[in-house]
Amino acid sequence: MTAAIAAGLPFALGVLASPLPILAMILILLGERARRSGPAFATGWVAGLLGLGLVGILVINRTPLHEEGSGSPWARAFTAAVGVTLLYFAMSSWRGRPGPGVEPEQPAWMARLSGVGTGRAFGLGIALAAIKPKNLVLGLAAAAAIGETGVPLGQELVGLLVFALIASIGVLAPLAAYLALGSRADGVLKGWGDWLTRHHAVVVAVVLLVLGVVLLVKAVMG
């Protein structure tokens, strides 16, 4: 079980460094439907991660990756491909960072989140967790890494659950602050949102750069 948890941990940290879902949660919590839409978004996010990981594990268990382990040519090629993909995402994020003195802009769709209902919030959580390209790659990579351990399916599922919970800390933290502080949370949430808006590109670039390099080294060293 420990092996399955450890295998998914680096990818969980990569998903955790996803400012867009955190910003989305903050904007939802600052809206008039926060009490229902916030938990709905969080539920959709966790469900998206678990669903993506479960599909990945079931597929991986039917491939040579599961039987041959992390040192197999299949596994090393897959790990290298994921590493290169994450380096590409890191480079794109770094190039997209705002210049000195430039006020960063939020995506247009995020401006409409303050009044989003529970159904749309739930669907948005799933989409950001399982369809957004970076998280899609990281979720499948986590499933592959867990599947490579060769442990029984039950232990793989525990590893997947831990992966999803750690990857969800960033989304769940604003919700916890809102539930604990009520109306007093507005100032805290706005502060978090402003910081993420200014610095998210650099944070994502650094995290993905480190993770991409680690995976490439792992692929080369076997």
Query: Model confidence over 20-64: pLDDT tens digits?
Result: 899 899 989 988 888 889 999 999 999 999 999 998 888 876 666
Answering whether pTM is above 0.75, one says: yes
The residue assigned the tokens 């999803």 is 164
Length of the chain in terms of residues written = 222
**CA–CA distance from 219 to each of 72, 154, 180, 209, 215 (Å)?**
10, 27, 44, 15, 6
Query: For residue 150, what are the domain limits?
Result: 2-221
| Arithmetic mean of pLDDT, 167-173 | 94
Query: Model confidence over 71-121: pLDDT tens digits?
Result: 567 777 877 888 888 899 888 888 877 666 566 666 666 667 777 888 999
**Count of structural domains within the chain:** 1
